A and B are shown apart, each in its own frame.
Chain A
Amino acid sequence: MADTKTIEPKSPALVRAWDWITETQIWTSIFRHSAPINDRNRVLVMLSNVFLHMHPVRLRKSGVRLRYTWCMGGMSFFLFLVLTFTGLLLMFYYRPTLEYAYSDIVGLREHVPLGIMREMHRWGAHAMVITVWLHMFRVFMTGSYKPPREFNWNVGVIMLVLTLLLSFTGYLLPWDQLAIWAITVGSNMARATPFLGHEGPGASLMALGDVQLVHAADDARFALLGGTFVGEGALLRFYVLHCVALPLVIGFLMAVHFWRVRKDGGISGPL
């Protein structure tokens, strides 16, 4: 047996091409180890890839099960990425001024063949609100906010509020009847802020001698809208909040959130 010579059949062209590609200097400079089909490389892939390194190398079995996480946190994150991307594309077309806002949206609808970016952005936003709620629901039902994850639950609550605010500020941008009246109804509440809204309890106490400090043109609602009604100022304010400020903050908090998931011992499970 020992000196029988086996002749390897020549491997198919595709396989040879693949082998050749994966041996080039370009390929090996990007992928530092071979495919994660054995334990060693399964470790390496998690450690050397910047996108994967937010995951642990191994995790408890219940943590990967849909039954446990409903995948809702991951889905919220994915939807956030989709929204960032589609939002970016929309920003190429849309100008936040009274003159252009509405007609730019009409233009998107009429002049972009097969355009679904606005739809993807709007439905994705609705979906994200729902997935974030359901994520909170599952975190509660599995008691995952209990020590040591109290702080991460709080980061989550802030992100929940930010998600709603993102959705709310975006709602105004098409500048149609649906938009301004929804924002009018929503922002009218700020008028009644105790002490800080001009129709809020205690506002009349905010006076220096005869001078009323809180009135329609300087109260909480004014600060939100940049005006006494939903107009040009509000559109610009909401645009900047929606496209720059809020996404930056929530993106930052997501980093904190994921970091904490890892530092608190990964996906929760019975002690």
Chain B
Amino acid sequence: MDALKSFIDLFADPRLFFLTTVVALVLIVWKRETFASDRWGWGLMGFLVVFFGFGLFDENFKLIIGKPDNVPIVALIFLLLFFTWFSMREAVRNDRRLSAGEPPIEKDEEDRVWTWPDLVYTELIAMVLCTVILIVWSIGLEAPLEQPANNANTPNPSKAPWYFLGLQEMLVYFDPWLAGVVLPSLIIVGLMAIPYIDNNPKGNGYYTFNERRAEVTIFLFGFVVLWSSLIILGTFLRGPNWNFFGPFEYWDIHKLEALTNVQLSEYIWVRWLGMALPGNWLVREIFGIILTIVYIGVLPVALAKKGLTGYYEKLGPTRYYVTVLLFLSMMSLPVKMLTRWLFNLKYVVSIPEFFFNI
């Protein structure tokens, strides 16, 4: 038992965690015919139940899962997996019909039914169930209340409310102005832009994957892998000093993680060119600045010429550039993660003179 726990803890590492979620998504999308089977859906749910059931016998696991404010995130894990599976299942079912030349299931259910009783009774049952669940939850679990607020006593770890923990996790890779301000704003802008940049007329009003492959895959990557799984990571696996802890590991305040992150400027000037860092910040950071400009300025244009020409033609210039810029902003997180893990890269551009670090 303990061997199994330490084995799981060994694998619990932000890199492996993230990689696993990405691989899982690739498999879900690629092998969706298999994934969409009922056996897989119930299997996954069963696995989660067993995992959490097993975990509850462990003191450290129980401590973090059982924190009252963390209970909803346990629920989120189940719900998220279930609905990812469920929507893929419905999409696959419809895709089979579509490729056989039949209309989607929703088309067969086009007939109108009476709102009373069909809808109002469903609503009534939903409200009653919702109320019952909420009351049982409220009786069973007391809302937390800690010591009175004290500005002089900082808890370790200090965590934002759970729904912002994905953003807090981004702080490992980006400075606050990006992780806390610019990227969140871009998430909102990006969500709002979706209906205007996606001009694919198909897949309107029914589940499908084949008719909107890129859209669904990108959304799942953003919502399930980046947003949600980082929340789960931030809640359950980040302990004191924002160090990473396995689910069965004791949150040791003294755990040390050697961090020797290096700036891009130091890599280039000092390690490759064997020179001292230039005093002028523009000269010092010129490579990083060029790299950034290439990423957001040149890359989209180059991709329009080669690689994404099809999309460029389908979307037209405005939609294309907005889409690619938003996509590249989203991908800046995994890109920064990878460079950190592979090269210990701290900042691509680092101009502390202006609080400007990328």
Contact = CB atoms under 8 A, between A and B. Distances in A.
A201 interface: yes
Given A134-B83, A194-B177, A119 B201 contact: no
B194 interface: yes
B154 A181 contact: yes
Given A134-B79, A141-B87, A192-B180, A123 B164 contact: no
Contacts of B180: 188-190, 192
B76 interface: yes
B345 interface: no
B130 A75 contact: yes
Given A59-B119, A64-B118, A116 B145 contact: no
Contacts of B135: 116, 120
B116 A62 contact: no
A178 B146 CA distance: 6
B318 interface: no
A98 to B, nearest CB: 8
Given A64-B119, A130-B72, A186-B160, A268 B147 contact: no
Nearest to A51: B120
Contact of A154 (B126, B182, B192): B192
Interface stretch (B38-46, B203-211, B256-264, B309-317): B203-211
B192 A192 contact: no
Interface residues of B, number: 93
B195 A153 contact: yes
B126 A192 contact: no
B219 A60 contact: no
Interface residues of A, number: 99
Contacts of A143: 202-206, 208, 212
B30 interface: no
B82 to A, nearest CB: 10
Interface stretch (A9-17, A21-29, A65-73, A236-244): A65-73
B354 interface: yes
B64 interface: no
A113 interface: no
Nearest to A231: B151
B112 A58 contact: yes
A206 to B, nearest CB: 12
A152 B339 CA distance: 39
Nearest to B119: A64
Contacts of A215: none
In the A-B complex, the 3 residue pairs with the closest CB atoms: A189-B180, A119-B138, A150-B195
Interface of A: 36, 39, 42, 45-46, 52, 55-68, 70-71, 74-75, 78-79, 82, 102, 105-106, 109, 116, 118-120, 122-124, 126-127, 129-130, 133-134, 136-138, 140-147, 149-150, 153-154, 157, 160-161, 164, 167-168, 171, 174-182, 184-186, 188-194, 197, 199-204, 229-231, 268-271
